[in-house]
Structure 1
C-alpha cells in the first residue's frame, strides 16, 4: 500500500502492481469497447462476404504472426542485463523480418491456390497486405514484451486504447468513402502499428544502441529453446483457435465465415478483457500458494471457475434465448444468421470463459507437456467436427454445433487437468 499527503490529508495509492493491472485492463477495456461499438456501423458498411475475407485474413496473419518472432519475444523479460535483453529483442525482430520475406516469397506460388482452397479468392489480391500485417504483428509482439520488461504499464494501457481507436477509425472511415474491403483489413494492421510506439519512448528499445551481430547470435544460442519448443506450441495453440474458422470458410463459403467471425469477436472480446484480469490475479495468488506450500490450490481453481461460470451465465442465457433477434436488431437484418451461431456457441464460450483464466495452473506447476498435449487435442476436437460435417454435406448449423461440442469437451478436459495437478500439488506440498 502506498500513501501520500495532499493538503494535510493522507491519500491512499494502490501498489505499483495493482496500478499496472488497472492501467492495462482499463486501456484494453476501453480499446476493445470501441471496437465492439464499431461493429453495428461496420456491418452496415461491409457485407458478410467482406467480413468473411477479414476473418480468413486475420486467421492467416495470426497463425503466421504468432511465430514470426520465433517465440523469442517471450524471452525478452528474462535477462538480468538490459544489453542482453536488447539482443534478444533484436534477434526476435530479425526473425520477424525473415518470416515476412518468406511469407512474401511463398505468396508468389501459393497465394492463389491457398485463397481458392479457403474459399476466398480475393485473399490472393491482398497478399501484400498479409505480409505487411505479419511484419507489424511481429514487431508489435516484441514491443509489447519490451514494455513489460520495462514495467511501462501506463504505456501499455494507452497502447491498448490507441489500438482500438486506430482499428475502429480506419475501418469506419475507409468504409464510408467506399474503400472496400481493404478498409476492414487495414484496420487490423493500423491498430497494431499504433501499439509499437512504446519502443521509442524513454527507455524504449529504439533508444538503446543496437547490439552487435555477435550479441544477437549469442542470445539466439542462449534462448534457443524458445524457437525450438515454444514456437511450435504457439503455432499449435493458434491453429486450435483459427483453423475451425478457416474450415468453415473452405467448406461453407466466405459469407458463412463472415457470420462466424463476427460472432466469435462479439462474444469473445468482452470475455477476453475480463478473463485477462482474472488470469493475472489468479496467477499471482496461486504462485504465492505454490511458493509457500500452504495448500488450497485445488480449492482456488474450483472456486475461480465457479465464480466465472456465475458471472457469464446470464449473458450466455441471453444469447441462447434471443441470439438471432438480438443480432438482427444490433447489426442489421442481414446478420440474423450470426445470431443463430451465437446461440449455438454460447455455452461453449461460457465454458472457455470459466476455464481459461485458471489454465496457468499447469504452467505454474511446470506441466507444460500436459498443456501442449491439450492444445493438440483441442485442435483435433474443434477441427474434426466441422471437417466431418462439411465432407458429408451436413448443414452449417450442424457444423457450428459440432464446433461448440468440441469446444466444451476440450475445455472441460483442461479444467480436469488443472484440478488434478492442483490437488496433487496440495497433497505433496510442492509443485507437480
Structure 2
C-alpha cells in the first residue's frame, strides 16, 4: 500500500520543499490509507449490527468529545514544532501535558456533579450515562495527539503511519465485537475512543528514552517563558479553534435537535465517509506541510508562498477522482456496501461532496498562520466560518426547510467559506510587487 501511494505521488511531487512535503505526506497517507481501508472494510458489518439511531448517538458523542478536545491543551500543541531546539520543545511538551492533566481533572469534576444538567441543556441526553467515556476519550486523545506531534517534530512519519493502522484495527474490532455481544451503542463509543487514543504505548516505547534524557533539562523558568511566549495561542487560537470545531459540528447538533436520532445517524455515516479522503490525503498533507514550513521559518514567506502554490495545484489534481466518485456514486454505493436502510446517507454524501472539494484544497494552508504567529487572523477566519455555518441552519429553522434543502444551503455557504479562507491566507503571504 505504501509503495502504491508513493508511486502515485512521485508523478506530481516536484522538487525541493514540495518534494519533501509530498514524500512525508506519502508516508503518512500510506498508514492513514491502510487505516481507512480497514475502517471502510469493517463498516458493512458495523452498519448491519447497529441501527441509524445508534449512529445518531455516536454522532452526538463524537461532537461532544471533539469540542472538549479543543480545550485540553489550550492550543499550545500547535507550537510544538516551532522551537529550534528539542530541549526547549520538550519543556513545551511538559507544559502541554500538565495542561491536559488539569483540564481533564476539571472536566471530570464538572461532569460528575453537573453532567446531567449540562447534557440536558445542550439536548444531548442520549450520552448522559456515557460521560465517563468522554473523560477517557479526552485524556487519551489529547495525549495521543501530543505524542503524535512530537513524532512529526522528530520526522518519525513512519511511526505515525503505523499507529494510524493499529488505531483502526482496535476501533473496528471493538465496534464489531462489542456489538455482537449486544453492547449497543456503547460498542460504537468505545470504538471511537480507541480510534482517537490507541497507539499511545507505541509512541512511548520509541520516545521514552529521549524523554528521560530531556527530563533533566526541564525547568519552571523555561516552562513559564514558553507559557508567556506563546500566549496568543490560548488568546486567539483557542477561541478560533473552538469556533472552527463547533462550526463543523453544527450539522450534527442541529439534526439531533430538529430531525431526530435516525436522520442524525444517516448524516453521521455520511460525514464519516466524507472524512475518509479528508483524513487520507488532506490531513496527511497538512501535517507534512506544517512540518516543512516550520522548518522554513516565518522570515521566508516568499518561499512558503511558492511552496503553497505548488501544493495547491497538486492537491487539485489528487482530489478530482475521490470527489467525483462520491458526488455521483454515493446513493448506489451506500446501499450496496452498507445496506438498503442507508440510502439517505448516500444522498447526503452526494450533496456534501461539493464543499468537500473546497475543504480539501484549503485544509493544509491554515497552518501558515501558526508559523507566522498570526493568531488574530486565524480567529477572524474561524469566526467567519461559524457565522456562515450558522446562517443555513437558522434559515432552515425559521422557514422549516426539509433535510436536503438545508444541506444544499449549508454546502453553498461552506464552499464560500473555504474559498475565502484560502484566498485570505494566500493574500497574506503573497510577495509584494
Structure 1 unpaired stretches of 5+: 1-13
8 A Cα contact 2:36 2:168, kept in partner:
yes
Aligned counterpart for 2:403 among listed residues 396, 411, 418 = 396
| Structure 2 residue matching 1:203: 3-state secondary structure | helix
228-237 vs 276-285, which moves further: 276-285
Partner of 2:78: 74
Aligned counterpart for 1:171 among listed residues 170, 175, 184 = 175
**Distance in 1 between the 2:368 and 2:187 partners?**
40
**Distance in 2 between the 1:113 and 1:228 partners?**
28
Residues 56-205 of structure 1 aligned to structure 2 (within 5 Å): 56-108=60-112, 110-204=114-208
| Shift of residue 56, structure 1, vs aligned partner | 1.1
Q: Is it true that 1:252 corresponds to 2:259 in the alignment? A: yes
TM-score relative to the length of structure 2:
0.83
Q: Matched residue pairs, number?
A: 412
Residues 245-284 of structure 1 aligned to structure 2 (within 5 Å): 245-279=252-286, 284=292
Partner of 1:35: 39
Q: CA RMSD in A?
A: 3.3
Q: Residues 140 and 120 of structure 1: is their aligned pair in 2 closer, same or farther, counting only changes over 3 Å?
A: same
| Structure 2 residue matching 1:426: 3-state secondary structure | coil
Q: Residues 45 and 301 of structure 1: is their aligned pair in 2 closer, same or farther, counting only changes over 3 Å?
A: same
Partner of 1:5: none
| Shift of residue 293, structure 1, vs aligned partner | 7.6
Structure 2 unpaired stretches of 5+: 1-15
Partner of 1:353: 360
**Distance in 2 between the 1:16 and 1:309 partners?**
18
* Larger relative helix fraction: 2
| Structure 1 residue matching 2:207: 3-state secondary structure | coil
Deviations 1:255-311 (A, max 9, x none): 22211111111012223321234446666489869977878947x766754554454
**Distance in 2 between the 1:415 and 1:80 partners?**
28
| Shift of residue 218, structure 1, vs aligned partner | 5.0
| Shift of residue 156, structure 1, vs aligned partner | 1.6
- Structure ranking higher on relative contact order (CA contacts 8 Å, 6+ apart): 2
**Distance in 2 between the 1:83 and 1:303 partners?**
33
| Shift of residue 389, structure 1, vs aligned partner | 0.8
Aligned counterpart for 2:54 among listed residues 46, 50, 53 = 50
Aligned counterpart for 2:431 among listed residues 416, 421, 426 = 426
8 A Cα contact 2:56 2:264, kept in partner:
yes
Q: Residues 47 and 293 of structure 1: is their aligned pair in 2 closer, same or farther, counting only changes over 3 Å?
A: closer
Q: Residues 377 and 110 of structure 1: is their aligned pair in 2 closer, same or farther, counting only changes over 3 Å?
A: farther
**Distance in 2 between the 1:135 and 1:239 partners?**
20
